[in-house]
Structure 1
Amino acid sequence: MTHLNRRMLAFYGAALVTSLLQAPIAHAQAAWPAAKTITIVVPHAAGGAVDGVARSLAERLSAELKQSVVVDNRPGASGLIGTALVARAEPDGYTLYFNASIHAAAPLLYKSQVKFDPIKDFTPIGMVAQGALIFSVNPQVPAHTVQELTQLLKTNPSKYSFATSGFGSAGHLGIAQFAAEAGLNDKNIPIVLYKGAAPALQDLIGGQVHAMMDPFLSSLPQVKSGKLRAIAQTGSTRSALLPDVPTVKEAGFKDFEFYSWYGIWAPAKLPAPVLKALESATEQAVKSEPFKTKLNGLGFDAVFRNSVDFNKYIVSETAKYQAIIDKAGITIE
């Protein structure tokens, strides 16, 4: 065999080995999703707003991908435990993460406890929904309007307390923004932390705490049953679900507008083909009539932002939350 033939044989042999090594990788990417369950980790307890929207999305994603998609609740530490779990997960498209705006806010408050970067350690897939909050009080509180509650709090702030399902949650920051705009000293108004909306609402109904801002999904049934009194809602306009309840803006807080928003992520370094497939499936799910109808009935609007736009939105919302935290002087003791 000549030197030329040996070189050619060596060249083609190396090319064959490279081809064989690359084939499984290409096949794995092209075959996603394989016959394997896709798990969406929700870092909050079942029954709350985040869980409700996540399960609605999981149902539609399962239909779009023709694949089993399940929700795994991993609550604790205002969502930090479940979030850190996904940050360390394999970026293979089978472990996803669903959360609300607390994803951007909690790390600003729990700086010493956060073991992940909310931007660098995740691949945003898309924003899927947003919703206003119901500002409600226990019926025994002698306030039927935001103005009346403001006066009560100014007269005797330590007598009344607010509930929150998590420090850094939309409800927590909404209350902080309200207190700042109302000229209240937020540090003198007790804010009680609960592990989820369900126990917070239970104590609010029982009178152990007195007021709360919370998504429609968990608070509306309590308002409709008369167990809570809605004094306002935080959107720019009134919701058709509570047409007789004014917005906080209408109550005289002209700059007040607050929404919780919800999105889905994967661990960082998700392969581009898998991201593209997930982003497309998420968009189709969010824009489907069943999803929009279901969310509207729960007090949410189906709103899709793609991966790039969602990432920009997270950055801008993080800056907004930092400004609220700084102005209110919120610290975690």
Structure 2
Amino acid sequence: MGAFLYFRKIYRKQRQYWFQYMGKIMKHTTRRTFISTTLAALGAAGVAFSGAASAQGEYPTRPITIVVPHAPGGAVDSTARLFADKLRDELKQSVVVENRAGASGMIGAAHVARADADGYTLYFNASIHSINSLLYKKTIKFDAVKDFTPISMLAQGALIFSVHPQVPASNVKDFVSLLKNEPKKYTFVTSGFGSAGHLAAAQFLYETSLSSQIPIVLYKGAAPALQDLVGGQVSAMMDPMLSSLPHVKAGKLRALAVTGRERSPLLPDVPTMRESGFKDFEFYSWYGLWSPAKVPTEIVKKLDAASAKIMASAEVKERLASLGFEAAYKNSADFAKYIDSEMARYQKVIDAAHITVE
């Protein structure tokens, strides 16, 4: 309202000046000269007004919404809220997290793909965003690459390979022997079809030649999956530390390995999958920020610069570490390349393990 009153005041003064000025020149000009002079003056006035409006409208001038396509409380939501709090401080503008859960994250993704490309609707998700585009090629309602602009990769977290305490195995090698001796006795569980945990479990079973013998039971969320794992209804799971670590610390689950390239400082006595005999096994759930496609480059650069500062913060790194994650910032261009390489890797796992949508 203040800007409106300001520009109205300017307009009234300019109009008064205009009439006075035009009254003088009308006495000394032809009709043709008058028209050309008028058009030139109007053009100059338009440029001046446009510049003033641009200065008043530097992004962001209103609240930003970050869409999280999963339910509150999970790994994606927790990481998104930590990031949103810091982005609010960097941009000096309100940042709201909006949960739009359903269909393995595709409901929220479709909403963002259709949103205005003005930088006020952003998208925060994990690697499942890229995996979905490979699994649901025939039914997906958006293009996970063409309909989005990668802004920044922010964090990543290794998974915990855990089993119920009654499973008589203290390491991965022993567990593989159990599976091969009594395949019908054991089952894997995953928090969702196409999740990082799902693909990691599928890769493990493929590498041990057990894909056709050990079922992977699909759940809608980590909470119900972990509930059955803790209760002994299922045998094993690969899951982000945020949700599994408390159960491991409480003795309700036994950690056999972690899927990162190095041991986790939160579980220093638990070996990696590489140390457990799987030399090429490395799996992370990674997290990033996207916008709808065709968002202006200057807005992407501003958000990317803010992301870089946030992920370099010692406070943020410490907070992420406590949740079982690590800061893994990549700028917009590098994030796009990383997505391409990860999708190629996921496709190999999907093909090798014959993962299909039922």
Q: TM-score range by the shorter chain?
A: over 0.9
Matches within 5 A, 1:10-89: 10-14=39-43, 16-17=45-46, 20=49, 24=53, 26-27=54-55, 30-34=57-61, 36-89=62-115
The TM-score with structure 1 as length reference comes to 0.93
Following the alignment from structure 1 to structure 2, what is the Cα–Cα distance between the partners of residues 178 and 165?
16
- 1:185-235: CA deviation from partner (whole Å, max 9, x where unpaired): x24322222222122111211122221111111111110001111011111
Following the alignment from structure 2 to structure 1, what is the Cα–Cα distance between the partners of residues 309 and 85?
12
Residue pair 1:90, 1:267 contacting (<8 A) in 2 also:
yes
Q: Does 1:220 align with 2:245?
A: yes
Matches within 5 A, 1:252-271: 252-271=277-296
- 1:47-78: CA deviation from partner (whole Å, max 9, x where unpaired): 22111211111111112122222222222111
Residue pair 1:286, 1:302 contacting (<8 A) in 2 also:
yes
Following the alignment from structure 2 to structure 1, what is the Cα–Cα distance between the partners of residues 71 and 284?
20
Q: Does 1:122 align with 2:151?
A: no
Deviation, 1:12, is 3.6
Question: Greater CA deviation, 42-51 or 314-323?
Answer: 42-51
**Aligned with residue 208 of structure 2, among 182, 185, 188:** 182
- 1:224-267: CA deviation from partner (whole Å, max 9, x where unpaired): 00111101111111111111111111111111111111101111
Deviation, 1:17, is 4.3
User: Which residue of the partner structure matches residue 347 of structure 2?
Assistant: 322
Following the alignment from structure 2 to structure 1, what is the Cα–Cα distance between the partners of residues 353 and 204?
10
Partner AA of 1:109 in structure 2: L
User: Which residue of the partner structure matches residue 270 of structure 2?
Assistant: 245
- 1:10-39: CA deviation from partner (whole Å, max 9, x where unpaired): 344345446646764x347x42211x3322
The runs of 5 or more residues in structure 2 that have no matched partner are 1-28
Following the alignment from structure 1 to structure 2, what is the Cα–Cα distance between the partners of residues 33 and 109?
36
Residue pair 1:124, 1:265 contacting (<8 A) in 2 also:
yes
Following the alignment from structure 1 to structure 2, what is the Cα–Cα distance between the partners of residues 114 and 87?
12
Q: Does 1:201 align with 2:226?
A: yes
**Aligned with residue 233 of structure 1, among 234, 250, 258:** 258
Query: Could you say if the C-alpha distance between residues 196 and 22 of structure 1 is closer, same or farther in structure 2, counting changes exceeding 3 Å?
Result: farther
2:282 aligned counterpart, secondary structure: coil
Following the alignment from structure 2 to structure 1, what is the Cα–Cα distance between the partners of residues 225 and 142?
27
Question: Greater CA deviation, 309-318 or 39-48?
Answer: 39-48
Seq. identity, % = 61
User: Which residue of the partner structure matches residue 8 of structure 1?
Assistant: 37
Partner AA of 1:71 in structure 2: V
**Aligned with residue 302 of structure 1, among 327, 338, 348:** 327
Following the alignment from structure 1 to structure 2, what is the Cα–Cα distance between the partners of residues 23 and 155?
76
The TM-score with structure 2 as length reference comes to 0.87
Residue pair 1:44, 1:196 contacting (<8 A) in 2 also:
no
The runs of 5 or more residues in structure 1 that have no matched partner are none
Following the alignment from structure 1 to structure 2, what is the Cα–Cα distance between the partners of residues 27 and 240?
48
- 1 or 2 for the larger relative contact order (CA 8 Å, sep ≥6)? 1
Partner AA of 1:44 in structure 2: H
Partner AA of 1:8 in structure 2: T
1:257 aligned counterpart, secondary structure: coil
Following the alignment from structure 1 to structure 2, what is the Cα–Cα distance between the partners of residues 92 and 21?
18
Following the alignment from structure 2 to structure 1, what is the Cα–Cα distance between the partners of residues 52 and 342?
42
Larger radius of gyration: 2
Partner AA of 2:105 in structure 1: G
Partner AA of 1:140 in structure 2: Q
Residue pair 1:45, 1:195 contacting (<8 A) in 2 also:
no
1:280 aligned counterpart, secondary structure: helix
Matches within 5 A, 1:153-172: 153-172=179-198
Partner AA of 2:321 in structure 1: N
Following the alignment from structure 1 to structure 2, what is the Cα–Cα distance between the partners of residues 290 and 69?
19
1:238 aligned counterpart, secondary structure: coil
Residue pair 1:49, 1:215 contacting (<8 A) in 2 also:
yes
Deviation, 1:313, is 0.6
